[in-house]
Amino acid sequence: AIASSLLLSDRANARAYLVGDDRHWDLGVDYAQWASKYSFVMGQDSLVFIYTPPRHSVLQVTQGDFDGCNINNPIATIPPNSSFAIASPKAYFICGVPGHCVSNLKLAITATTTAPSRNITATAPEFSSSPPPPS
């Protein structure tokens, strides 16, 4: 079964991540913890923001505006129920409703330029079948 946070895209290896999983973009979600579960890839992956205006909004902001919860100078406004293509190594999002960002309705992501290996191969340690030398 595919987790609700992961929507498959038509591009090979591209992934669309549902922000907040089944809780979507809302108060009471730890978005730092949510983001830490995933490895985002620039130029390949996207974020899907599900929210209901005017209850919430999504603003892409600079790191300084993210840290200070400044809603007055957004880089972009992300429309409800739409996706945001990850095109830079870092991206910052806050809710534009007064008081929501300071209540931690904000998300910072870090993306890599290449996807992590999906196939992890473990190598078993080698053991000698001969007895240990006498002491």
Domains of the chain: 6-112 (2.60.40.420)
Residue with tokens 């205006």: 53
Confirm if 59 and 94 have CB atoms less than 8 A apart.
yes
pLDDT, residue 114, reads 80
Confirm if 30 and 106 have CB atoms less than 8 A apart.
no
pLDDT (tens place) for every residue of the chain, 135 residues total: 334 444 444 356 789 999 999 999 999 999 999 999 999 999 999 999 999 999 999 999 999 999 999 999 999 999 999 999 999 999 999 999 999 999 999 999 999 998 665 443 334 444 344 455 555
How far apart CA 100 and CA 69 sit, in angstroms, is 9
Structural element, H or E, at residue 93: strand 90-94
pLDDT, residue 121, reads 38
**Global pTM value:** 0.77
How many helices (H) and strands (E) would you count in the chain? Answer: 2, 9
Residue with tokens 């130029």: 43
